Structure 1
Amino acid sequence: MSRRPPIFQVPRFAPLRRKSALPIWFSLLLRVLFALGLIAIALAVHWFDRGGLQDNIDGHVSFTDVLYFTMITVTTVGFGDIVPVTDRARMFDTFVVTPIRLFVWLIFLGTAYDFIFKRTWEKWRMSRIQRNLHGHIVVTGFGTSGSEAVRELIARGTLPHEIVVIDGRNAAITEAEDMGISVLEGDSTRNATLEAVHVERARAMIVSAGRDDTSILIVLTARRLAPDLPISVVIRSEDNEALARQAGATTVINPVSFSGLLLAGSTHGPHIAEYLADLAATDGRVALRERPATTDDIGKALSEIATGLGVRVYRDGIPHGFWEGEAGRIEPGDIIVEIVPGRGRSRR
């Protein structure tokens, strides 16, 4: 079977990252101490080599003059009242004090950026993204199932910025962010987290938390905030499928059971599992499509529709197969499930 090309490529160099355990104030203190250390080096050398300095005011260079000269030289280019007059003092100012000046300015500018401008910019940017969230797809859990679902959504034409991923793991959030997806690092079982992504304005939600109890709790939380939201959830234990539906899940998917179906089907014919994979994948020769009945469909039998091969019709939420009498006449409000040509090529 042909493999679908990846949506994104992992960079050749991916450094390990770990969130710093140090508080923000300690990081700020380290920067200040480093800047003071650089200034202290310049001050010490200027003091020991004060004979190379000339005070144009009173002709005497005191410690106060050295401190003043060091601070003025490090922060600016000096005022000319105290100047280096020996070659050694001038070379020190050229090759040591000037780099120290640049480092000190970079430290303070970087600190201002990190603690003021960057945080303000990110806060404004996130609030703007939140305000514009509407008709998006919320994916809680970016593990194996969640990440594959996101890739499939993008392959089916969903724009990355229309997807919001929630996960508590920094590595998963980084991976999703690299795909151009809006991300939120947090706990999806909490009301505040789902409210932050405006789950009530989403068009669909995918829950793949990795644990059935966590997934069911997320469904309960989301259903309370968005009573009409279509919610698809991955449940790994058959005993928990009914609980997920009672919690409010619209669609319950058991990957273990589905894998078993594919394996069992393959024993009855080598092409059954391949055809089922064709139906599910974006790059298959055939694809399943669900749509509401149109005026052209009304009154026709399910087998007579012109847009594809009708296999099931939903009427008042009840499914009817193409062989049943209810599928002999399509009525207004019916939902049709049909098989249509896919965009892929023949699999070998």
Structure 2
Amino acid sequence: MIRPKRKTDSLIERPEHDLVGVIRMPESSVSPVTSIVRRIIWAVLALFAAVLIVYLDRDGYRDVNEDGVSFLDAVYYATVSLSTTGYGDIAPESDSARLINILVITPLRILFLIVLVGTTLAVLTERSRQAFKIQRWRSKVRDHVVVVGYGTKGRSAVSAVLSDGVEPSRIVVVDTDQAMLDAASLLGLVTVHGSGTRSDVLRVAGVPRAKSVVVAANRDDSAVLITLTAREMAPSAQIVAAVRETENVHLLRQSGANQVVVSSETAGRLLGMATHTPTVVDMVEDLITPDAGLAIAEREVEPSEVGGSPRHLPDIVLGIVRAGTLHRVDSSEADAIESGDRLLYIRKVTPASD
């Protein structure tokens, strides 16, 4: 007998604490040595504060030797008290000392214990913090970029998006390979563990509110299904899909992709060009590599440029984007720049200094 699927099986129906491990928010990496040093510092500070409080109020404490409480006695009392050992040979006697023990020493004892069992508590704290960050991210995320598939194509797409100035926290990577997601998380990207062919995974990634969706699946049939699902969720999003075979381009376009890149055919053209014009291949590689050299970019026209010819601009203009349509610079539509146009041009990329 086949049982109906419960609603809680859908990721989108789960509460935030159940999505920890599915969604991973970027965290600043801290080395184990740094973490241990920080905990030791907090423990020493808590101990020092307790010693100082006890010593300043030493007249309110009773020592079994009846010789008063020295600074060494204050250190001894603070140490055994914070570690919850408490031999009882030194004890608060006055009302003020007892009140201070209740209001100050007890919280310091709790802080000291948190530091001592920090490894266990860190796991619990990290899970709670991740759940809170997921809840806040899901409520505020808008106009972000979702990259489905973090293989070679996906990683290159992310590099290009980052080079355009998009914040890493506004890029969401969806993949089933945890190692790939760990690599993406190190770059500060939000990651979602799951298959992009599942609608609930895409919803958890925020596709309905995304500005752009990059489909970089390893298989063409998966790319078609992901594109179809993403288009249904986000009718106005810019969807760019990669496909291996040219014969599947029309399927991606019918599924709702705005742009389709044929990876195998593009690589084949470059291989063929390299046999007789290798320098052309070098130039093409330079143009599509966003890190240094030259790069193809797009910008809005300035008011002073309206009415002029794109051929007379200081920038090397390749075309004009008008009402979503690209017109090459040698076409009649690109003779004069109109208000609202965007220019496709070649810009020089300055490599970031280390």
TM-score range, shorter chain: 0.5 to 0.7
**Structure 2 counterpart of 1:154, from 158, 162, 178:** 162
The question of 1:304 aligning with 2:308 is answered no
Instruction: Find 2:339's aligned residue among 317, 332, 341.
Output: 332
Residue matched to 1:26: none
Q: Does 1:244 align with 2:252?
A: yes
Tell me the distance in 2 between the aligned counterparts of 1:327 and 1:201.
34
| Separation in 1, partners of 2:129, 2:299 | 42
Deviations 1:262-318 (A, max 9, x none): 223334423100111111112342211122333223212221233x11111233444
Q: Which amino acid aligns with 1:252?
A: V
Structure 1 CA distance, aligned partners of 2:120 and 2:286? 54
Q: For 1:229 and 1:157, how far apart are their aligned partners in 2? A: 19
Correspondences of 1:1-348 after superposition (within 5 Å): 119-306=127-314, 308-343=315-350
Greater relative contact order (CA < 8 Å, ≥ 6 in sequence)? 2
Structure 1 counterpart of 2:265, one-letter code? S
Flag the 1:178–1:319 CA change in 2: closer, same or farther, 3 A: closer
Shift of 1:117: 5.3
With over 3 angstroms needed to count, the CA separation of the structure-2 counterparts of 1:240 and 1:120, relative to structure 1, is same
After TM superposition, the score normalised by the length of structure 1 is: 0.62
Aligned length: 245
TM-superposed deviation, 1:322: 1.9
Larger radius of gyration: 1
CA distance in 1, matches of 2:303, 2:196: 41
Q: Distance in 2 between matches of 1:118 and 1:271?
A: 51
Change (3 A) 1:284 1:173: closer
Residue 290 of structure 2 aligns to a residue in which SS?
Answer: coil
Match of 2:73 in 1: none
* AA at the equivalent of 1:249: A
Give the CA deviation at 1:320: 2.5
Which consecutive unaligned segments of at least 5 residues does structure 1 have? 1-75, 81-104
> Cα RMSD (Å) of the superposition?
3.0
**SS of the residue aligned with 1:138?**
strand
Distance (whole Å) between structure 2 residues aligned to residue 133 and residue 303 of structure 1: 40
Match of 1:31 in 2: none
Structure 2 counterpart of 1:234, one-letter code:
A
> What is the one-letter code of the residue matched to 1:313?
I
Q: Go from structure 1 to structure 2 and tell me whether the alpha carbon gap of 1:303 and 1:195 turns closer, same or farther (over 3 Å shift).
A: same
The 10-residue stretch of structure 1 (268-277 or 311-320) with the greater mean CA deviation from structure 2: 311-320
